[in-house]
Structure 1
């Protein structure tokens, strides 16, 4: 009997904890997310099917990619994306690349632009247009993410945020956000964190609608940048050689 009471008290504490977490997410935000996702289905579903078909044609393996990310209140969740790398590709190069850019306070340029050999055909286009993130609409419906919010980071990247910068985790991560429409690949990690904290403090229905309205133009800018790079820029060096230049032991150690 005592064990049953103890278990019951534990369940109540967990239930109350969930209620407190839900209470920190504004009702307007949840209502806006669900309604806009449902309204977008006539357009998003055909796009999702088209991207899935393309990935299955040009590469082997599943179309979807699952990855652990850090989200609201610094809790881990599983994010869904379209797979843009060959099946079984290692992520170590990406982790070293991110570590170098953060520690040197350089713009967060993706490995795509350095000639990443792990990418499947058309991957750069999918990433530039954000089509690889369409499955995150499912994350929004589940309540793991919002349409607007800070980008959900990977666990290794989480260690780089200072205590002040971790205010960004007080809101749901988003598919788009202030950072995403502000030239995300041309801003530094510190600038990204500043924009994320600003959003956490100023979050409102009006701000979310403004960000959503600006997102199509931001996508077009990224697409223009991608096309210019493909047409006018010389073939980039292999990403693996670039990574080797800064794969020093100190970057492989504990960064917490």
Structure 2
């Protein structure tokens, strides 16, 4: 894991990074993360292999996609997903938001697009069911992420947190969290930041278990998932 990759646009991150303590939850949370992630990988291995084949044979491209995200204490890591977008996704996005003012406004507000032209047919199904995020179980085992926590952000997004960035940086990003069970992309980015801050300030192991239990019906309902 690379250490201390910082955002040039986030002076708060640069000034506060060194004073951030160990990840929220400590040894107990980390032990649970490893146990849960390993168990999930074994249980879901048939689905994992099936998705790999579907993604590969749909267009012949890579099966996985790793995007650089900010983790605990400002460390940079590659957040793994099953690939759900066309290979030239960045260029497709640039052209789309330049030609569609509504899409540009939606992107500025949420960093997401409900009708994203980059997403493949297989990818749209994986996203709807949140199956594209299964490879993040590997991130959890590596220590990049936790089962529960704020969703991992890129450098530019962390700048939107302003002083609340200190709370995001105190914990490992999560596979699920308050945002996932509270509407996901249907809520504003400001609300997402408030969820992340509340989670860190009020963390407990019992709260993590409750969030995990609520994740299952949230995924089945696919609310805010796109």
Same fold (TM over 0.5): yes
For 1:190 and 1:78, how far apart are their aligned partners in 2?
Answer: 25
Residue aligning to 2:194: 194
For 1:56-205, list aligned pairs within 5 A. Answer: 56-90=56-90, 93=93, 100-101=105-106, 106=109, 108=110, 110-111=112-113, 113-114=114-115, 116-205=116-205
Q: What's the TM-score, normalizing by structure 2? A: 0.80
Deviations 1:88-116 (A, max 9, x none): 3216737969984486xx5x3832x32x3
Q: What's the TM-score, normalizing by structure 1? A: 0.71
* Alpha-carbon shift at residue 22 of structure 1 (Å): 4.9
Q: Which has the higher contact order (CA 8 A, sep 6+)?
A: 2
For 1:203 and 1:102, how far apart are their aligned partners in 2?
Answer: 30
For 2:154 and 2:87, how far apart are their aligned partners in 1?
Answer: 19
Local SS of the residue matching 2:141: helix
Deviations 1:131-172 (A, max 9, x none): 101110000000000010000001221222211344222111
* Alpha-carbon shift at residue 21 of structure 1 (Å): 5.8
Local SS of the residue matching 2:87: coil
* Alpha-carbon shift at residue 24 of structure 1 (Å): 5.7
Local SS of the residue matching 2:89: coil
Local SS of the residue matching 1:78: strand
For 1:190 and 1:184, how far apart are their aligned partners in 2?
Answer: 12
CA distance change for structure 1 residues 65 and 156 in 2, over 3 Å: closer, same or farther?
A: same
* Alpha-carbon shift at residue 73 of structure 1 (Å): 1.6
For 1:29 and 1:86, how far apart are their aligned partners in 2?
Answer: 36
Work out which of the two has the higher radius of gyration on C-alpha atoms and give 1 or 2. Answer: 1
Extract unaligned runs of 5+ from structure 2.
1-17
| 8 A contact 1:148–1:211 mirrored in 2 | yes
Extract unaligned runs of 5+ from structure 1.
1-17, 230-256
For 2:77 and 2:105, how far apart are their aligned partners in 1?
Answer: 25
For 2:166 and 2:104, how far apart are their aligned partners in 1?
Answer: 18
For 2:165 and 2:23, how far apart are their aligned partners in 1?
Answer: 22
For 2:143 and 2:193, how far apart are their aligned partners in 1?
Answer: 22
| 8 A contact 1:165–1:194 mirrored in 2 | no
For 1:169 and 1:26, how far apart are their aligned partners in 2?
Answer: 14
Q: CA RMSD in A?
A: 2.9
For 2:55 and 2:21, how far apart are their aligned partners in 1?
Answer: 37
